[in-house]
Amino acid sequence: MADKRFFRCNVCNDIHYGISGPEICPTCQAKNAYVEIDKEEAKKVMGL
């Protein structure tokens, strides 16, 4: 079972949780814009 991780779009700050970041952001359509972030950063971006 592969570990799921958090990824953030560096264009629109959309958060994706999964095995890898989407190739194209579903929110802003940027290509390869997702960078892996840690759990704490994901919480901050999501305002938790």
Closer by beta carbon to Zn ion, 1 or else 13 = 13
DSSP count for the chain of H helices, then E strands: 1, 3
Closer by beta carbon to Zn ion, 5 or else 11 = 11
Applying CB under 5 A, which residues contact Zn ion?
Answer: 9, 11-12, 14, 25, 27-28, 30
Q: Centre a 10 Å sphere on the Cβ of residue 10 and count the other Cβ atoms it contains.
A: 14
Closer by beta carbon to Zn ion, 5 or else 30 = 30
Q: How far is the CB of 20 from Zn ion (least distance, A)?
A: 15
Find the length of the chain: 48
